[in-house]
Amino acid sequence: MNVRTKAWLARKGGLCFGTGRAAILRAVQRTGSLSGAARELQMSYRHAWSSIRVAEQRLGRRLLVRRRGGPARGGAALTPCALRLLGRFERLDRDIRDFADQRFAALFGQTGKGGGKV
């Protein structure tokens, strides 16, 4: 038995940012484009674009700088706002998981490896 957690940021009841959108931004950082990120994550470009567009609208901030021009000159990069958001969100998510693991071990006497008491 183990504990599972999931963190996301919401505004006015709507999802602004979570692990899925964080993964898209990290993939954009690695690949240099939203289409490359979508391919890497095995999702449609339309889904990736929609996720980022909704996040930008709900946050009121741009997350990607897009460059037109096809494969040779096009692509995307994270804005300074996106870099700050991504770093802070990943830290928050890590801290929440660490806290949940510690509380689980204290309350259930288990470390997530099986065994222990209930």
**pLDDT tens digit sequence for 24-75:** 999 999 999 999 999 999 999 999 999 999 999 999 999 999 887 655 667 9
pTM for the structure as a whole? 0.85
Task: Identify the pLDDT of residue 71.
Answer: 57
Distance between CA 9 and CA 7 in Å, rounded?
A: 7
| Torsion 98-100-101-102 (CA) sign | positive
Q: Where are the alpha helices (DSSP H) in the chain?
A: 19-31, 34-40, 45-59, 70-73, 80-108
Query: CA 65 to CA 67: how far, in whole Å?
Result: 7
Q: How many CA atoms lie within 13 Å of 9's alpha carbon, on the beta-carbon side?
A: 18
Q: Please report the domains of the chain, with CATH numbers, ordered by start residue.
A: 9-108 (1.10.10.10)
Give the model's confidence band at 114: pLDDT under 50 very low, under 70 low, under 90 confident, else very high: low
Chain mean position to CA 42: 15
Residue 22: its pLDDT value, please? 98
Q: Please compute, for residue 99, the number of CA atoms within 13 A of its CA located in the half-sphere on the CB side.
A: 9
pLDDT at 116 over 70: no
Lowest mean pLDDT, pick from 6-10, 24-28, 42-46, 111-115: 111-115
Q: What is the pLDDT of residue 80?
A: 98
User: Residue 15 — φ and ψ, nearest 5°?
Assistant: -60, 125
